[in-house]
Chain A
């Protein structure tokens, strides 16, 4: 059930979530997305181009982060606009735990047309990984 426009105010916080990201997740995302860039699955190559280790696809991180919004909405079709900058890579070590992406979100603007702006914060190891992450959604 999508929350009603009248029931939310600026500052309203959506339920936060954490997403574990393992090497297996990256391999699965390579296959599903068709993005087989070698830095997302090969540590030897990733470190040779100056990265600390294998990193997650920016688009994978972006896909996880917006789940905080779509899970809250119920109907993902209420999402009108979603964008972010990829400011820092999510480094995924080769172990059973991988990395953990922590995502919170809150309403930062209410507009006249029953839409709200949601600002999303995504971090890994206490470092922000997405910049200017924002979603615009229409509420009933």
Chain B
């Protein structure tokens, strides 16, 4: 099914504020098995000049993905979310996410195309503090796989 081209270029209202908690960062770092002390230990992080512990690089997906998936679920877009897989992902950082940050996400649809029956939606999410400081931009492509032929 072709995706609704009217979504391309559309920006969505800023997300609710995401409050970055120390324990959430530690929980995430533990879940990915990353014991780098700057993700766990306040003294180690401040020794490197950070105000608090910082988050592992891919933590940004926790902040941005909700904004992107809420767009993807819009019935007017025409994406079959039950067949969605993650196609590609990129993060461009101004600085690491830090405990205590209050972050707001603004999502924009960059492209919506169909390749070999697969619907591909590319979205950008700009993550900034409530004070307007840019922290990270995430670029995500999600793919709704074409329905398979019987028996394949």
Contact = CB atoms under 8 A, between A and B. Distances in A.
The yes or no verdict on A and B being binding partners is: yes
B90 A60 contact: no
B27 interface: yes
B88 A33 contact: no
B28 interface: yes
Given A19-B33, A66-B57, A33 B28 contact: yes
B31 interface: yes
A70 to B, nearest CB: 6
Q: Is the interface of B mostly helix, strand, loop or mixed?
A: mixed
A71 B57 CA distance: 12
A70 B56 CA distance: 9
Interface in B29-81: 30-34, 36, 38-39, 48, 50, 54, 56-58, 61-62, 65
A58 interface: yes
Nearest to B26: A32
B92 interface: yes
A70 B61 contact: no
B56 A58 contact: no
Interface of A: 19, 25, 28-29, 31-35, 49-50, 57-60, 62-64, 66-67, 70-71, 75-77, 79-86, 131-132
Listed residue (B33, B65, B92) with the most chain A CB atoms within 10 angstroms of its CB: B33
A32 to B, nearest CB: 4
A32 B33 contact: no
A121 B67 CA distance: 30
B82 to A, nearest CB: 8
Interface string B91-133: 1110110000000000000000000000000000000000000
Given A25-B33, A35-B65, A85-B87, 18 more contacts: A19-B33, A25-B31, A33-B28, A33-B61, A58-B89, A60-B32, A62-B58, A62-B89, A70-B57, A75-B48, A77-B95, A81-B90, A82-B93, A84-B88, A86-B86, A86-B89, A131-B88, A132-B88
B92 A81 contact: yes
Contacts of A75: 38, 48
A132 B30 CA distance: 27
Q: For the complex of A and B, list the 7 residue pairs with the smallest distance between their C-beta atoms, beginning with the closest.
A: A83-B90, A32-B31, A58-B86, A85-B88, A63-B32, A63-B58, A28-B31
